A and B are shown apart, each in its own frame.
Chain A
Amino acid sequence: MATLHKINERKGMKDKITNLQQQIDDLEKNRAAHLEGSNRVLRQQVALLELAHDAITVRDMSAKITYWNGGAEKLYGWKKSEAIGKVIHKLLKTKYPIPLSDIEKTVLDKGEWQGELIHFTREKTPIVVESRWGLQRDESGAPMAILEINRDITDRKIAESLTKDYQGRLEKANVELRDFAFIASHDLREPLRKLTVFSSILEGKFAEALGEEGIVYVNKIQDAAVRMQELIDSLLMYSRVTTKAEPFIWVDIGEVIKEVVLDLEVPIQETGAVLEIGDLPRIQADPSQIRQLLQNLIGNALKFHRDTPHIKIYGEACWEASCKIFVQDDGIGFDESYLDLIFQPFKRLHGKSSPYKGSGMGLAICRKIVDRHNGTITAHSVPGTGSTFVVTLPLKQCGEHEVCAA
């Protein structure tokens, strides 16, 4: 009985041991599988490092290369077998932005450094790289290796310097253009003034000698000179939209209209015009330019009239951060197929002999002002019925001279 019991006990033990053995085997299998997995991950990672576009290198503390990935081969043209064991700075003829000893000190103190370096490829081509250095320490904490990851930014650098170059040239061209328009308008005045002043002497002191017909010709000279003066003045005004630009501030359009109406008092009285002024917004703008804009538009409404002009000036509720301002008249109107033309400098729809005088610059100046305010200007018109000019302006300005609130 006892023996049977012992046998049973021993069998149970054996089973237990087998069981344990099984468990250990399983564990080992698992571990092997796990290790295999880890190794696979590691191999994949190394392969990824090889594939990386960036040049990845590792060097020991004597600067000798111990690792050189595919990216480095591609970037510098040196094969792994050629690079390993070489001193990295000599191989790449590195040019540093600060002394190498300073960079090395930073790496030792802080464990990392980054900056821009110039390297030379195997073909002796200089390249600019964005370089990141990291320090690896051994178990005792002593510096062991330096990891260096370099990204080729040569193209970006060239693009940057080209952009800078173009910007500089564009600015210079703009300044030259502005100066040209300004100087031209100033210098053109000089001979013109001579024409007027000397012909006025002819008209005054030499009237008798000239006779009636002579005076007619002198008057023609004077008229032409006055007209040229007007053209130059408006050209100067046109160039001043950019040369005399003031910062954008909050402007109450309704207040500006009041000033404009005062300025236009004479033509308003002469034509007996009726002005209807609706609600107008507050926007960010160059106040003197907005005044000029509205003065030109209302001035046109007064000029191109049929009977007593009725002029409506009103704004439309601001939406999508922009506002519309309307200047509507019941004047002679124009054919809308000329819409593009009327905003161009010196373009006029009426001949010199027509009663509608002008330099042809008024609406061109309007468009230039609206452009500077990042807005648009257009018009609707029916000949013989009237015109409506529509100016769309942003509520807030975020361009040059910005005052953009958060």
Chain B
Amino acid sequence: MTENVYGPVVILMADDDLDDIKLVREALKDCGCEVDFRYVEDGEEAIDYLTRRGRYENPELSPRPSLVLLDLNMPKKDGIQTLQEIRNNPEIRTIPVVVLTTSRDRDLMLRIYRLGGSAFITKPTIYKDMIKAMDRLCTFWFQTVSLPDQMEGQRTMPEA
């Protein structure tokens, strides 16, 4: 299991397409990236999870994710709104948000980066490419990068 100071790394995926949730989860497994994989089915639920509202109240049961995988086209609250809310909320704004969507639209990509998206990935159409994408994502975010939650975690940890 990939771990940080809290324990296993948590990925939260927000996507209304359960096929894609399954694909990403399988691809993560197949590339050997063992993470605590959580998912929600729309943007509103994603915000609920991240801000610990409603049924996500308990931090033990709904641990803070190290990375959010965000689809754009979702019911209730779409990905763009969700991204905006994450970036406007001081409590959760440092969490990297990787947009994972069908679109290849250049204007949309630019918009995502302008709104503070951490990366933009077009959903691969071949499963092999999906495994490759997840492998690189894990290598980069959990083995190469120093994630902000580790710093925040250390700062708020009680002194020994």
* A interface list, Cβ under 8 A from B: 186, 189-190, 192-194, 196-198, 200-201, 204, 225, 229
A196 engages B126 (CB within 8 Å) = yes
Chain B residues near A198 (CB-CB < 8 A): 19, 127
A204 engages B19 (CB within 8 Å) = no
Residue of B whose beta carbon sits closest to that of A190 = B102
B102 engages A186 (CB within 8 Å) = yes
A204 engages B102 (CB within 8 Å) = no
A194 engages B19 (CB within 8 Å) = yes
A204 engages B103 (CB within 8 Å) = no
A200 engages B19 (CB within 8 Å) = no
Chain A residues near B123 (CB-CB < 8 A): 193
**B94-138 vs A, Cβ < 8 Å mask (1 yes, 0 no):** 000000001100000000000000000001111110100000000
CB distance from A126 to the nearest CB of B (A): 49
B128 engages A200 (CB within 8 Å) = yes
Q: How far, in whole Å, are A186 and B19 apart by their CA atoms in the complex?
A: 18
Chain B residues near A197 (CB-CB < 8 A): 23, 124-127, 130
B125 engages A196 (CB within 8 Å) = yes
Q: How far, in whole Å, are A196 and B125 apart by their CA atoms in the complex?
A: 6
Q: How far, in whole Å, are A194 and B127 apart by their CA atoms in the complex?
A: 10
Q: How far, in whole Å, are A192 and B19 apart by their CA atoms in the complex?
A: 13
- Interface majority SS on A: helix, strand, loop or mixed? helix
Chain A residues near B17 (CB-CB < 8 A): 190
Q: How far, in whole Å, are A192 and B17 apart by their CA atoms in the complex?
A: 14
A200 engages B102 (CB within 8 Å) = no
Instruction: List 18 additional contacts besides A193-B102, A204-B128; criterion CB under 8 Å.
Output: A186-B102, A186-B103, A190-B17, A192-B125, A193-B123, A194-B19, A196-B125, A196-B126, A197-B23, A197-B126, A198-B127, A200-B125, A200-B126, A200-B128, A201-B127, A204-B127, A225-B125, A229-B125
A-B contact pairs, 29 of them (CB 8 A): A186-B102, A186-B103, A189-B102, A190-B17, A190-B102, A192-B125, A193-B102, A193-B123, A193-B125, A194-B19, A196-B125, A196-B126, A197-B23, A197-B124, A197-B125, A197-B126, A197-B127, A197-B130, A198-B19, A198-B127, A200-B125, A200-B126, A200-B127, A200-B128, A201-B127, A204-B127, A204-B128, A225-B125, A229-B125
Residue of A whose beta carbon sits closest to that of B125 = A196
- Interface majority SS on B: helix, strand, loop or mixed? loop
Q: How far, in whole Å, are A193 and B71 apart by their CA atoms in the complex?
A: 15
Q: How far, in whole Å, are A189 and B101 apart by their CA atoms in the complex?
A: 11
Residue of B whose beta carbon sits closest to that of A193 = B125
Q: How far, in whole Å, are A229 and B102 apart by their CA atoms in the complex?
A: 12
Chain A residues near B102 (CB-CB < 8 A): 186, 189-190, 193
CB distance from A238 to the nearest CB of B (A): 15
Q: How far, in whole Å, are A189 and B103 apart by their CA atoms in the complex?
A: 9
Residue of B whose beta carbon sits closest to that of A244 = B107
Q: How far, in whole Å, are A321 and B6 apart by their CA atoms in the complex?
A: 72
Q: How far, in whole Å, are A220 and B27 apart by their CA atoms in the complex?
A: 24
Chain B residues near A229 (CB-CB < 8 A): 125
CB distance from A192 to the nearest CB of B (A): 8
Q: How far, in whole Å, are A192 and B125 apart by their CA atoms in the complex?
A: 9
Chain A residues near B130 (CB-CB < 8 A): 197
Chain A residues near B103 (CB-CB < 8 A): 186
Residue of B whose beta carbon sits closest to that of A192 = B125
Query: Which residues in chain B, 1-24, are within 8 Å of chain A measured between CB atoms?
Result: 17, 19, 23
CB distance from A243 to the nearest CB of B (A): 10
Residue of A whose beta carbon sits closest to that of B17 = A190
Q: How far, in whole Å, are A335 and B52 apart by their CA atoms in the complex?
A: 69
Q: How far, in whole Å, are A193 and B125 apart by their CA atoms in the complex?
A: 5
Residue of A189, A197, A200 contacting most chain B CB atoms (<10 Å): A197
CB distance from B111 to the nearest CB of A (A): 14
Q: How far, in whole Å, are A200 and B103 apart by their CA atoms in the complex?
A: 20
Chain B residues near A189 (CB-CB < 8 A): 102
Q: How far, in whole Å, are A201 and B24 apart by their CA atoms in the complex?
A: 13
Residue of A whose beta carbon sits closest to that of B131 = A204
Q: How far, in whole Å, are A225 and B126 apart by their CA atoms in the complex?
A: 11
CB distance from A139 to the nearest CB of B (A): 75
CB distance from A197 to the nearest CB of B (A): 5
Chain A residues near B125 (CB-CB < 8 A): 192-193, 196-197, 200, 225, 229
The 9 A-B residue pairs with the shortest CB-CB distance in the complex, in nearest-first order: A196-B125, A200-B127, A200-B126, A201-B127, A193-B125, A189-B102, A197-B127, A190-B102, A197-B125
Chain B residues near A190 (CB-CB < 8 A): 17, 102
Q: How far, in whole Å, are A36 and B102 apart by their CA atoms in the complex?
A: 92
**B118-160 vs A, Cβ < 8 Å mask (1 yes, 0 no):** 0000011111101000000000000000000000000000000
Residue of B102, B123, B126 contacting most chain A CB atoms (<10 Å): B126
Chain B residues near A186 (CB-CB < 8 A): 102-103
Residue of A whose beta carbon sits closest to that of B103 = A186
CB distance from B26 to the nearest CB of A (A): 8
Q: How far, in whole Å, are A186 and B125 apart by their CA atoms in the complex?
A: 14
CB distance from B120 to the nearest CB of A (A): 16
CB distance from B79 to the nearest CB of A (A): 14
CB distance from B10 to the nearest CB of A (A): 25
Q: How far, in whole Å, are A4 and B17 apart by their CA atoms in the complex?
A: 142
Q: How far, in whole Å, are A362 and B85 apart by their CA atoms in the complex?
A: 42
Residue of B23, B103, B127 contacting most chain A CB atoms (<10 Å): B127
